[in-house]
Amino acid sequence: MSQLEELETTDSGSVRKKDALSWLESLENPEIPEALEDQLIQSVTPKPQSHSGSAFPTPISQVRVTGRPEFVEQVAKLFQWFNVFESSATRLQINLQQIEDRETEEFTENYALYLSSAVRGKEKVVQQVVMGGNSEEDERLSKALEKAQEETGLVEQ
């Protein structure tokens, strides 16, 4: 049995965020070179606070993994670096849930994991805080937010 299957779920099949974050952090960390991890972090476009509606046609970065619990857990290991977005400047949007069959309305043995990042507060204030940050994670987030602003214009001035 995978760790995922041992997590407590709500009546709707969802795992609470704090439990999902703990689960993601507890997974065995694969060897990902720091340079690659930095590139991955910098390539993420967080959802601006002002965004509403579907993110599908936008450059907002989202990850969706579905399947058997063992598969979701193995793939999730590759996305542990996404935890850097759970900070004072951005929040990690994580949705981990057991999949419900639409016809029978019964839960299947399969799970879905959704990951994305969203900017907290006013973007310019957030950037100023991050730019003067005290941690390595703040520097990584600063680069990601700057890149999103330069390349997409999604981050507000």
In a domain, 116, yes or no: yes
**pTM for the predicted model, two decimal places:** 0.78
In a domain, 97, yes or no: yes
In a domain, 119, yes or no: yes
In a domain, 129, yes or no: yes
In a domain, 12, yes or no: yes
In a domain, 157, yes or no: no
Single-letter amino acid, residue 73: E
Task: Provide the residue range defining the domain that includes 95.
Answer: 4-48+55-151
Integer angstrom CA distances of residue 36 from 33, 39, 147: 5, 5, 16
Domain count, the chain: 1
In a domain, 89, yes or no: yes
Tens digit of pLDDT for each residue in 8-49? 999 999 999 999 999 999 999 888 888 888 888 888 888 888
In a domain, 156, yes or no: no
Confidence band, pLDDT 50/70/90 cuts, at residue 50:
confident
